Chains A and B, each alone.
Chain A
């Protein structure tokens, strides 16, 4: 009989990390208390992730993959945020890429396409719940369909738009999104 450490594992996510481009943590879930026993190791890992991504140069649109120190890392950039989903080097990278894709897509649905640091923090409640529905604390993939994820998280976006009666919502919503996007473009420019 082989030792149990050698058992076939199901696909596992080791960490879901969202940091801003300066390396500040926005929201992270680490799923391996052995690999990251405390805050310091977590922070150090986040810093390494950021360093590696920056060393690799420009990030293409969509999900990218890299490998270092026994981790396979799927990463993507959303405005001023970097999102990572990591697994062991032996993990199927396409599954990690899919999990990251779901996270990205769900946040886009949840935040109506405005995924940037401030907005994520403003709607942290929804973001936390989406991550909780995406992978559990041990790294098991719970659900990967973005629409399903957002509905399971079941939060009404707490911004004031939602308190506006249904009929008027679409117009004011459109205006708000336009306003937000113009503001972002100006700020970035």
Chain B
């Protein structure tokens, strides 16, 4: 059998036919059978090698060996240690490494490996070390420590590197405390002839010392003073360590760390381009680096831009792009070099060049740049196109006066070939631009109208139709858009038609002229006979609700033809009373075309309504909360409107086509509302994210979710028992409210049983006192009755005893009383002005954060308000930042906050201005930050 396989393989080698894989038709079973030749008394080295290679190929292709098979192979492989053929031995080492994680009997090869470590063949020593350290445990390491120490200082670089890298692995896997005793040997290896050994030695030395800041400083200072290492990779390490030291030490400005910075600058002139580039990256990433200090780094990048290797150009371009984010002026000097790269064969480089140029270029050069992009956009992959569009959007916001040219460019791009992602990015760019540049609105709408004339993505069509419905009626010439919408109505698929109906109806709103209303009536009437239910229902509903039927004459004798009063005829008597009706009706219809609450909330409430089974009371859409109650279970919730919403009562059940698959949302209040005693409280105003009240690795872990109601605060404690041999019964959490304000009576709802794998939930219900905000810290104690459980049988012991367990304090903060609005104001300034300065409170603080970005993040977290206009993301290197936030404070106060954060020598200065509908609320919020 094995011979046949061998011949077969030879045949294929000689086969000149080319494309046949030598492993064609290879099977696990037969290979494992072939492995038996390892047991032969007279080992055939070549055959064994061939079998091993086939085994490695199988494993490499993802074939899984069962534990029994792996053990079997392992046993056979140990036999191969008898053969003294280097190439076979190399394969054996590799096989052991690849198979080690599946085999339990690692110990059986340890002996052979230890023997090899002792051997006098360097190749054996090196490889045996690598393998053994990978598969062995801490105890074994001690047994071979003596050899490892010798190997580190071995003259042969293979041996030394193997021992050093193995040392890194041992340390990383917590198997090698002995490694810490090798510092002398490792320091010696720093002087090794081979550059790779120097590199491995430095990495290991740093790994040992990394938690000792002083030792690291000493090591790095000594090495940098000596002019670095002869090894490029070791120098790269030094650059990284140096940059790390400089950024950790934020008290002295970069100038004060002269020797360190000089070392980085010297590395910019290193003979190895890897080191030069690493130094560029390090300098560019330094916090508080100034334009002067960046100049030499940018110069190195410029030189790299003209190199023939794509990797060099890419590297330089990527770094320049990242510098351009913070210091576009510093990069502007290399504009001419970057312009050349727009034609680069590597499209990633070209895209980076374009997007960077947009950031660094002057306003006047923009049009030339657009022309160049137009030439190459078509050949780009979608992903790169999206990046270009994003850069265009940024430029447009930066130079509003150029919006004409930019919008035209985007409009052209919209009509060209491209996938959904690309088109979507352009549409959302338009949406953004419309929100910030009111002057560009009609132009944007015009381009979008053109786009839906020939758009294959219903998702985008519905989104744009919705937008037209919202914006169109308020433009100077609404009639213009009706034609586009009507075209969709006759040409498109049902979801788009439905969206078109809703959009069209908006044009017949209260603000429209009678002539316009009449035209809409004519157009909508056709949809009354649409073949699709949704479209027909919407049309019928809106038609009625908007009072458009006044424009029709009843069908004579129920005939099919609908006669309309021509706009010129005096069919409609004009009287005051009628007009009022129209206004009321349109208001009602409009209220229905836009939901009063987020769709996710409505869905959750409807589901809850159905699940209670009590349908004696009708569902009231007004009780659905208007804030975002849902919390994204996964990060990255889809943004942007998810398409128009069906009117009125049908809304929850059927939402127009185009609705995007959204990230999974969970209702944090679901658990509390499912408890019968608590259900009568209704929905909490705010449910805070879950907070742990215990360390992670303890017997009983407790997490709390705080639910705030108008009259109560409900604390939901999720208790998890991690012990197998007992269970907790009658679990409650007692809280001490004496040091908190605004709280009085406490009622405990116990959880019956908490055992391993079955978490329990206990509730603590606290009544709020009128007129006071529930704020402050509370001590919590977990109380329970413990009963022993027999881990084997699961039998519960009858006797139990009461016990308690101190938890960490729990705190009610302003954030627990604040919810983020479903739609933060698009125009913060307008909202700010609208709220007025009557209840404005300003405060100043100084915080002990070490960067502006962390301070901003913490303020957002603490207040739980929604950042507006992208102001929530501060650049990690920013020296100052303005944060704009909106929130709704319990029970229904609108709150806006403007926070200015600036870096100071000794921390961060924070300047907060709060506006709200109530002076006291403003005061409480502004004062809470300290």
Contacts and interface: CB of A to CB of B under 8 A. Distances in A.
Interface of A: 1-2, 4, 7-11, 25, 27-28, 39, 42-43, 52, 55-58, 60, 62-68, 74, 92-98, 117-118, 121-122, 124-125, 128-129, 132, 136-138, 140-144, 152-156, 158-160, 183-184, 187
Contacts of A67: 318, 348
A95 B236 contact: yes
Given A11-B236, A67-B348, 8 more contacts: A4-B210, A74-B311, A94-B273, A124-B57, A125-B49, A125-B53, A143-B161, A155-B90
Contacts of B613: none
Contacts of B323: none
Contact of A63 (B19, B52, B311, B381): B311
A64 B346 contact: yes
B13 A122 contact: yes
Contact of B348 (A1, A65, A124): A65
Nearest to A28: B60
Contacts of A52: 381, 383
A159 B13 contact: yes
A43 B165 contact: no
Interface stretch (B240-248, B710-718, B792-800, B864-872): B240-248
Given A56-B381, A125-B91, A93 B49 contact: no
Nearest to B54: A124
B536 interface: no
Interface string B209-246: 01101000000000000000000010011001100100
Contacts of A156: 87
Contacts of B161: 142-143
Given A25-B60, A64-B311, A152-B158, A129 B94 contact: yes
Nearest to B134: A137
A128 B18 contact: no
B20 A92 contact: no
A101 B62 CA distance: 26
Given A57-B347, A63-B311, A95 B274 contact: yes
B286 interface: no
B877 to A, nearest CB: 15
B721 to A, nearest CB: 29
Contacts of A7: 210
Nearest to A125: B53
Contact of B345 (A27, A60, A74): A60
Given A8-B241, A142-B165, A94 B312 contact: yes
B130 interface: yes
20 contacts: A1-B211, A8-B240, A25-B61, A56-B346, A58-B345, A67-B318, A92-B277, A92-B281, A118-B21, A121-B22, A121-B57, A129-B91, A132-B97, A136-B130, A136-B169, A138-B168, A154-B86, A155-B87, A155-B90, A159-B13
A61 to B, nearest CB: 9
A125 B87 contact: yes
B382 A55 contact: yes
A14 to B, nearest CB: 15
Contacts of B65: none
Interface string B12-46: 01001011111100000000000000000000001
B83 to A, nearest CB: 15
Contacts of A122: 13, 22
Contacts of B318: 67, 93
Nearest to B23: A121
Nearest to A96: B311
Given A60-B310, A63-B309, A144-B196, A94 B277 contact: yes
B62 A94 contact: no
A96 B318 CA distance: 15
B56 interface: yes
B640 to A, nearest CB: 22
B423 interface: no
Contacts of B19: 118, 187
Nearest to A33: B101
Contacts of B165: 136, 140, 142
B304 to A, nearest CB: 9
Contacts of B200: 140
B60 A142 contact: no
Contact of A98 (B50, B274, B347): B274
Nearest to B126: A152
A124 B56 CA distance: 9
B786 interface: no
Interface centre among A8, A95, A138, A183 (most CB of B within 10 A): A8
A65 B346 contact: yes
A83 B97 CA distance: 23
